[in-house]
Structure formats: C-alpha cells, structure tokens
Structure 1
Amino acid sequence: MVQPEPEQGEPEPEARARLALEASGVAFTITRHGPVGSLEEAAAARGLAPDQVLKTIVVRRGDGDFLLVLVPGARQIAWPRLRHLLGVSRLSLPDKAVAREVTGYERGTITPFGALHAWPVIADARVVGAGRVSVGAGGHGVAATLDADDLLAAVRAQVADVTDPAE
C-alpha cells in the first residue's frame, strides 16, 4: 500500500495524525479553527454539540504502561470504575512532558490516531452510537470529525461506563 505524503507545510504531529486517519480507512473531515477557551467554543467551532467533542486523556497504569481514554464533552473519568475495569488499585495522569513523550502530541491535541505507540484505548459507553464526534488531530485548533462507531472500530476501543458528569 502506498502511504500518502504529508501536505505541504503541515506540522509533523498533524501530518502523523492525518496519515493515521487516512490509513484507518474511516471517513473523516479535518476542521481548523483558532484558539478556543471552553468546551462550548470548541464544539461551536466544529459545528457540533459539546457532548460530541471527545477528549483523549493519557492515563498511566504503571511504569512505561499507558492507555488512552476517550471522554465525551463535559464528563470526567470516574477513577474508581476505571481502576475496577482495569483490575488495578492505582492510576495516574502523567505530566504534560510525559504525555507528549508517550504519544508524540501535546495536551489538547492528543488523538488515538498516529500516537507514537499503539496504546490501548478505552471509550466511555456514551460514545457508542453518538453519531458524529470530534477528536484531536495533532495540533491546537485542529480536530478530526468522524462517526463515533467508526472511531471505536478503527482504534479497537474497549467500551465501558468510565465517566461521570464534570463537577
């Protein structure tokens, strides 16, 4: 299979994300918008509802062992449920330098597509059947919009109830 070339002038993380999206075979669109200050602004800039914007959170399970959690809109990880699902007593969020080191993406741009390592992905159950959703695409103000079920299949996500409403 011939790999597509990065677009002229596209930053490396964005090119890596786009190329991985293309290689996945899922239909997607890339949206570029300026800086946003809230979930609501990000959703509006992408033409979506806030619950259709998915955050990709890097979680440390152990030394050198990470996973990605897809969290919808104004929700947050339910740590006790995630620990129970994974059968561990402790999980943590890595600092921004470690998150970048293990994914190749800065916080706010992280996507399960094109990460430097194919970490396992867990998606909150609310993502199933959600229709169009948006995930980071490797750059600030850059997002990929695609069908939620296509996303879950492409990244082989384990689906579970792992979030609560944000406080």
Structure 2
Amino acid sequence: MTLHWVPATERIDLLADPVAHVVTNMGGVEVTEIDPGLADTAEFCERYGVTLDESANCVVVAAKRGGETRYAACMVLATMKIDVNGVVRRHLDARKTSFAPMADAVELTGMEYGGITPLGLPDDWPILVDTHVAEHPKVVIGSGVRRSKLAVSGATLAGLKRAEVLSLAG
C-alpha cells in the first residue's frame, strides 16, 4: 500500500487535538492516513514499506525521586533500545525510571496509545531526542492517533521547546 503524504495543516482531522494545535504553527510536517490496526511500528513498516531506521518511536517514561513523579518523552529510531535505567535515569536525575503505564501516558498526553508523539506534549515535559533521530533527514512518527503518521525532520524534533539531544542507547 502506498502512503500519500500531505502537509499536516491540510489534514488536521488526522491528528489528535494537542498535535493539531502545535502543527498549525509549524512548517515541514507531513501526515498520511494509515490503517489503525497497523499503527504499531513493526506492522506499519512491513505493510507500508518504511524501514525501521526511517521510523522513530516516542516512549513516555516516568521518573521518580523523593515521592515525586515526573514524565518525559524519549525519541529513538525503531531499531534502537533506550537505556531507561541508565542514561535516561541519570539525565532526569531520578532514583527510578520506568516506561509510563499505558493509561497514564494516554491520559496525560491526550493521545492514543500507539500514536503518541512529541508534538503537543505537556509543556513541562522534557523531550529527549536521540542523536540518531536528530541527525535524520526525515523520520516517520506518531500523530497522536493510530490512524495516521507524521513525517518530520530530525532537526525539527531537536528544535522543539524542551528538546534535548543526547545518546539514549545503552
């Protein structure tokens, strides 16, 4: 199946509300409609002919210290594993870090699980962008919903408010 990319501002209906709000003020973001049953990265890539190293995942982590829980988003290529308990924990100055529970990630972001994206996250969340993502000319990421995907440059992601570029692999 072929992907038909259009400027995201032309198809706001394919975006979660928080994502649509941010994208209207950005350029260079494209969107394409997909089968929502194929939103998970491996299935999406296989069906639509996108390689795993062209796809980036947004992983929500919960960082705990002193009874307080803070959240952050981590952007990594689909071929990579995040060092949540090492690199991410130290960077966020947390005692313990873990992948955020699905229900928390969905509620806090206003996005669908499997479609969470760094565009439109809460303003106080750090966005940790892996160097491989930041250097990529264009990556496919979530759109906030399972029925579409966004294409955006790594430089755009690295330039987001609260974005920090670092090596997230262990």
Q: TM-score range by the shorter chain?
A: 0.7 to 0.9
In structure 1, the residue corresponding to 2:146 is in which secondary structure?
Answer: coil
Please tell me whether residue 148 in structure 1 is matched to residue 154 in structure 2. Answer: yes
1:51 is matched with 53
Residue 104 of structure 1 corresponds to which residue in structure 2?
110
Residue type matched to 2:63 in 1?
R
1:71 maps to which residue? 76
Secondary structure of the residue that 2:88 maps to in structure 1? helix
1:92 shift after superposition: 1.6
Contact 1:134 1:146 in 2 (8 A): yes
What do residues 71-102 of structure 1 show as CA deviations (whole Å, max 9, x unaligned)?
21122211212222223231122211111121
d(CA) in 1 for partners of 2:120, 2:151: 15
1:10-50 Cα shifts (integer Å, max 9, x gaps): 37x62431331222x23111011112276344235566321
Partner of 1:133: 139
The answer as to whether partners of 1:54 and 1:70 remain within 8 angstroms in 2 is yes
State how far apart, in whole Å, the 2-side matches of 1:104 and 1:38 are: 18
Normalised to the residue count of structure 2, the TM-score between the two structures is 0.79
CA RMSD of aligned residues (A): 2.6
Is the 2:142–2:149 Cα contact (8 Å) retained in structure 1?
yes
| Change beyond 3 A, Cα 1:37–1:140 | closer
Q: Is the 8 A contact 2:54 2:139 kept in 1?
A: yes
Are the structure 2 counterparts of residues 48 and 18 from structure 1 closer, same or farther at C-alpha, using a change threshold of 3 Å?
farther
Instruction: State the Cα distance separating 1:149 from its structure 2 match.
Output: 0.5
Aligned residues: 157
* Unaligned stretches of 5+ residues in structure 1: none
Query: Is 2:83 the partner of 1:82?
Result: no
- Identical counterparts, % of pairs: 21
Q: Quick check: 1:42 aligned with 2:44? A: yes
Deviation at 1:64, TM superposition (A): 4.2
Counterpart contact for 2:114–2:146, Cα < 8 Å: yes
- Unaligned stretches of 5+ in structure 2? 1-8
- Give the Cα–Cα distance (whole angstroms) in 2 for the partners of residues 155 and 41 of structure 1: 31
Matched residue of 1:17: which SS? helix
User: In the alignment, is the contact (CA less than 8 A) between 2:115 and 2:146 conserved in 1?
Assistant: yes
SS in 2 for 1:77: coil
Normalised by the length of structure 1, the TM-score is 0.80
Amino acid at match of 2:30: T
Q: Which deviates more, 70-79 or 38-47?
A: 38-47
